[in-house]
């Protein structure tokens, strides 16, 4: 049995791609997208019709104001990709709100409502969509409001315990704590070409702590490990609620035959040393993030990178509107 098949016994596998052929190949339960993935997919000829449809939709529904229209066209393009993905997978697709709204609660809420409305126009219910929002304080407050409205959220770019706890307390359906980018930061900080074999990967340790805390304190929020650099990081989190994995690493896992041992479970979490409950106020959140240079830098970087690809996508669309 391949390592991928063994993982499926313990963990829900999610494909981290916007490529439909690869999603069909690996048959995940759910799929995640982000502006970077959609930007690259949208450059392929086979996906041109999805972009063309979004442009026509925008023109018909927002007049000739290019600036106003671009946002709607972007949302419709992301929804079009999501609709095609939902034809392939049995579960949910994650669609991201414009990263440039990461520090604005109400605009994030409005954008999320519009995305959900576009899916509902196409006959897709809220139960099959996760709205991805960067886990800033403002984004977490938007999540809290959206979850009360029955709009389910995937809080992304989570690099710290503070972000995870705040998202769970806000009632987030799912969080995406990143693994590989945490490892990248610590390797660079210590000037290491590779992480020492006798030390726990810091990204893996972060997800394990979050998972344990959630299970110990009864948080229903799903923990979905994300952003992996190698298959060892993935197998070290076997048993995590969900894992979202790139096609390249899915392929490696499908080819590998070594034994995968379950590392995380609710039962084991309760046997671990108790982690004290944290009541996450805004002041505590901001202080804890401030005291974590890795999380502060990586959160900011992640938002910038997603925003950059939204701008790049806008630049390809603008001449056609």
By residue count, the chain amounts to 321
**76 included as an active-site residue:** no
Catalytic site residue from 44, 59, 132, 188:
132
Long-range contacts of 122-126 (CB under 8 A, 24+ apart): 122/79, 122/83, 124/83, 124/86, 126/150, 126/151, 126/152
Residue 187's CB: how many other CB atoms inside 10 A?
15
Q: How far is CA 5 from the centre of its chain?
A: 23
Alpha helices (H) in the chain, listed in sequence order: 3-10, 20-26, 35-42, 48-62, 66-86, 105-121, 137-148, 161-169, 180-190, 202-216, 231-235, 247-255, 266-271, 282-290, 293-317
- Apex 308 CA angle, 34 and 202, nearest 5: 60
**Cα–Cα distance, 129 to 127 (Å, whole number):** 6
Long-range contacts of 38-43 (CB under 8 A, 24+ apart): 38/77, 38/78, 38/81, 38/309, 38/313, 39/309, 39/310, 39/312, 39/313, 41/81, 42/77, 42/81, 42/313, 42/316, 43/316
Which residues belong to the active site?
Answer: 132
């Amino acid at each position: 049995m391949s390592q991928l098949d063994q993982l499926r016994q313990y963990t829900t596998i999610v494909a981290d791609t916007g490529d439909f052929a690869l999603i069909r190949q690996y048959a995940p339960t759910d799929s995640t997208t982000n502006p970077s993935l959609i930007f690259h997919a949208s450059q392929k000829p086979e996906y041109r019709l999805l972009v063309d449809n979004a442009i026509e939709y925008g023109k018909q529904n927002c007049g000739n104001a290019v600036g106003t229209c671009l946002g709607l066209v972007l949302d419709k393009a992301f929804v079009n990709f999501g609709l095609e993905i939902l034809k392939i997978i049995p579960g949910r697709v994650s669609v991201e709100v414009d990263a440039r709204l990461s520090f604005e609660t109400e605009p994030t809420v409005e954008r999320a409502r519009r995305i959900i409305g576009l899916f509902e126009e196409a006959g897709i219910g809220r139960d099959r969509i996760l709205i991805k929002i960067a886990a800033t304080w403002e984004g977490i407050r938007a999540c809290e409001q959206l979850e009360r409205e029955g709009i389910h959220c995937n809080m992304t770019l989570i690099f710290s315990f503070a972000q995870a706890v705040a998202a769970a307390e806000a009632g987030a359906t799912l969080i995406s704590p990143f693994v590989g980018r945490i490892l990248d930061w610590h390797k660079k900080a210590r000037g290491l070409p590779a992480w020492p074999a006798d030390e726990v990967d810091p990204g893996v340790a972060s997800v394990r702590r979050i998972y344990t805390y959630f299970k110990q304190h009864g948080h229903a929020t799903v923990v979905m490990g994300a952003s992996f650099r190698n298959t060892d990081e993935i197998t070290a989190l076997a048993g995590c609620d969900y894992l979202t994995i790139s096609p390249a690493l899915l392929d490696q896992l499908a080819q590998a035959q070594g034994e995968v041992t379950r590392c995380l479970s609710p039962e084991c979490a309760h046997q671990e040393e108790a982690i004290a409950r944290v009541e996450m106020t805004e002041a505590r959140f901001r202080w804890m993030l401030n005291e974590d240079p890795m999380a502060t830098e990586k959160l900011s970087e992640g938002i910038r990178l997603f925003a950059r690809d939204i701008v790049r996508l806008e630049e390809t669309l603008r001449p056609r509107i």
